[in-house]
Amino acid sequence: MFVAAIHSLPVDAAPALIEAAEVEAACGFPSPSQDYLTSEIDLNEHLMPNRVSTFLIRARGHSMVRAGIYDGDELIVDRSIRADDGHVVVAVVDGEMTVKRLRFTETGGVVLSAENPRHPDIVLEELSELRVWGVVTRSLHRVLRS
C-alpha cells in the first residue's frame, strides 16, 4: 500500500460538532425498544486528539485490506505516538513511503507485514533504512461511493 497524498490539518480549526445518538446499533436483528438520546461530540477531538502532530493521508493499493484499509481510504496518522509491535504505521523504507503493520522478530529484526496474502511482507535487510513516519489511528472508509 502506497501513500498517495499527505495533508496537514489546521491546528486552530473550529469545532466540528455532530449529533451522536447514544445507542449501539446492532448489526443483527434491531431492538424496537431502545431510546435514541442524542448529544454532541466534536469530531476534531474524537478523531484527532493530538492536532499538531496529526496528518491525513490518502492510501493507494490493496495490501492492507484485512486491516480495514482499502484503496482510496483516508488515514488519520499521529506522528506523536511511539510505534510499537502490531501498530499499523506509515513507514519510509529506503526512501519509499508505505503503510504496513509493524512487527518485531525474536531476533531483533523488523518486518513490515501486509494484511493481504497476495502481497509480500517487507523483511528489512541489515543495510535497509527504516523510518517510522507515524502511527495510523483511524481509517476513514467511504461506504457510499458517489
Residue among 36, 34, 35, 54 nearest 44 (CA): 54
Cell of 124: 528489512
Catalytic entry in 8, 33, 63, 80: 63
Which long-range contacts (C-beta less than 8 Å, at least 24 apart) are formed by 118-127?
118/62, 119/62, 119/63, 122/93, 122/98, 124/93
Catalytic pick among 31, 100, 113, 146: 100
State yes or no: is 100 an active-site residue: yes
| Sign of the alpha-carbon torsion through 81, 85, 87, 93 | positive
By the 8 A CB rule, do 69 and 42 touch?
no
Q: Mark whether 8 is an active-site residue.
A: no
Residue numbers annotated as active site: 63, 100
